[in-house]
Amino acid sequence: MAYYYNEPSRTFSEYLLIPGYTSPECVPSNVSLRTPLVKFKKGEESSLYLNIPLVSAIMQAVSDDKMAVALAREGGLSFIYCSQPIEEQATMVARVKAYKAGFVVSDSNLQPDDTLADVLKLVQKTGHNTIAVTDDGTAHGKLLGLVTSRDYRVSRMSPTMKVKEFMTPREKLVTAPENTTLKEANDIIWEHKINQLPIVDKDDRLLYLVFRKDYSQHKENPQELLDSKKRYMVGAGINTYDYEERVPALIDAGADVLCIDSSDGYTCWQKRTLDFIREKYGDSVKVGAGNVVDREGFLFLARAGADFIKVGIGGGSICITREQKGIGRGQATALIEVAAARDEYFNETGIYIPICSDGGIVHDYHMTLALAMGADFLMLGRYFARFDESPSPKIMINGTYVKEYWGEGSNRARNWQRYDLGDKEKENLSFEEGVDSYVVYAGPLRDNVAKSLYKVKSTMCNCGCTNLADFKKNAKLTLVSATSIVEGGYHDVILKSTSGSIT
């Protein structure tokens, strides 16, 4: 007969942390969230670290080059999604590696003969009101003008009016040459009282835009995740289908670390992918694998050569794998078992393989619980999809701003490679394992990440810990009953509305 587990699989919401002794040193400003990203031997250091334990999910709706820059600036890492042509993914990686802090490559570009209707459509798509007008409509074409919200009034202008009729023309623009430093650019902005400064090359081709509103963000961030050449670090997803072509392209583009994107990591296909990378690159290319939910899955990928291992099947907010296939495990239970296997493997081999908890994070405190349960870092999708920096547009639905968020297993993404089981006659999605949805817009990444991680640090202080290694070792957790969960929220009171009335 089939094997049955004696205990039910648990979610993060079924656990609470028990406070420990808080010493005078246990204040949030003293807490370090630095954590290893890839495996290392006992007594040695990992070759790659994260300054915060957060990475963004390998999803179309989450991780592009814009998200990668924003998250690296805060100390985390993005894995650029792989459900796109190899060349386009490699280009995104290259843009992150070439990024100069404060110098933005324009993502809103038109030609002079385009119309006001095109302007409005582009603003709706990108959410950005500054549009570069170039001779070929590209980000690096010859600069002919700029269009901002000050240049047009929808109520008084025809949607067919051409851009060249109302744009601010090149001769009226203040620009700067390509060797301009960020400090010099900001000085020009303030001197001329302008909101944006185009940076052009000797042929007057647009290179970057520097914005007044970004000034405060240009200051050095001590948490920035940088490589040895002071470039932002970036990861990239790969699949088990076209890895022989995709991996070399991503490495050439400058990817710092790769991760196999798959719903199930306990497969021969993942081992074949890892074998290919090891045979071609040895240990110089770092690659994570997954996802798994138990000891056997972890040990399989550990022995196959994974540099980190992702944990979780079916716990994502847009994932319906459990509904469709009846496979998966509660995220807390999966993480606890895999963390124990990670420690067992370390004691036997002297090799520490970081584990990444992927899915099941609904509230900020779930992050803290996942770290206490043994996760070295967390992969988040819905959390990052809500921010300005995610790829999807911000739209209003029923009076609320939202952003679109869809699963890689949805018909919209059609990422069949993620669910590839080696059947070359089934190169498509036979059924959905993800949904197409909205998430409530939450604003800029920087503000939200800072708030979430302050909560993590504060809780760690309550538990008497100032680093993640001690937290994983010393944390005490307790299961809670259904009644305890109710007790944990507000109860037996009448809430006031924001107007002061009773609701």
DSSP one-letter string for 442-499? -B-HHHHHHHHHHHHHHHHHHTT-SBHHHHHHH--EEE--HHHHHHHS--SS-PBPTT
Residues designated catalytic? 319, 418
Q: Is the pLDDT of residue 315 over 90?
A: no
pLDDT value at residue 100: 74
pLDDT of 76-85, one tens digit each? 999 999 999 9
Q: Once rounded to an integer, what is the mean pLDDT over residues 24-42?
A: 97
- At 484, the pLDDT band (50, 70, 90 cuts) reads confident
The model's confidence at residue 407, banded by pLDDT at 50, 70 and 90, is confident
The SS3 of residue 175 is coil
pLDDT, residue 34, reads 98
162-196 pLDDT, tens per residue? 999 999 999 999 999 998 988 899 899 999 999 99
Burial class (CB within 10 angstroms; exposed 0-12, middle 13-18, buried 19+) of 243 = buried
pLDDT in tens, 39-66: 999 999 999 999 999 999 999 999 999 9
User: Hey, what are 369's tokens?
Assistant: 């619980």
| Phi–psi pair at 338, nearest 5 degrees | -70, -35
pLDDT of residue 217 exceeding 70, the answer is no
CA gap 465, 148 in Å, rounded: 50
Omega prior to 291 cis, within 30 of 0: yes
Q: What is the mean pLDDT of residues 129-151?
A: 95
The vertex-346 CA angle with 30 and 238, nearest 5°, equals 85
pTM for the full model? Answer: 0.81
- Confidence grade of residue 215 (pLDDT, cut at 50, 70, 90): low
**In whole angstroms, what is the distance from residue 231 CA to residue 94 CA?**
11
Of 311-315, 387-391, 427-431, 483-487, the poorest mean pLDDT is in: 427-431
Q: What is the pLDDT of residue 291?
A: 95
Which tokens is 395 given?
């739209």
The helix/strand/coil state of 301 is helix
Alpha helix (H) ranges present in 317-441? 321-325, 331-349, 364-372, 382-385
Can you give the pLDDT at residue 415?
65
Q: Cβ contacts of residue 453 below 8 Å, gap of 6+?
A: 33, 52, 54
Closest-CA residue to 382 (of 412, 408, 420): 408
Beta bridge partners of 133: 110, 145
pLDDT at site 492: 86
C-alpha span between 110 and 285 (Å, rounded):
39
Please say if the pLDDT value at position 252 is more than 90.
yes
Distant-in-sequence, close-in-space partners of 354: CB < 8 Å, separation ≥ 6: 35, 36, 37, 38, 39, 46, 308, 309, 342, 376, 377
Residue 216 has a pLDDT of: 55
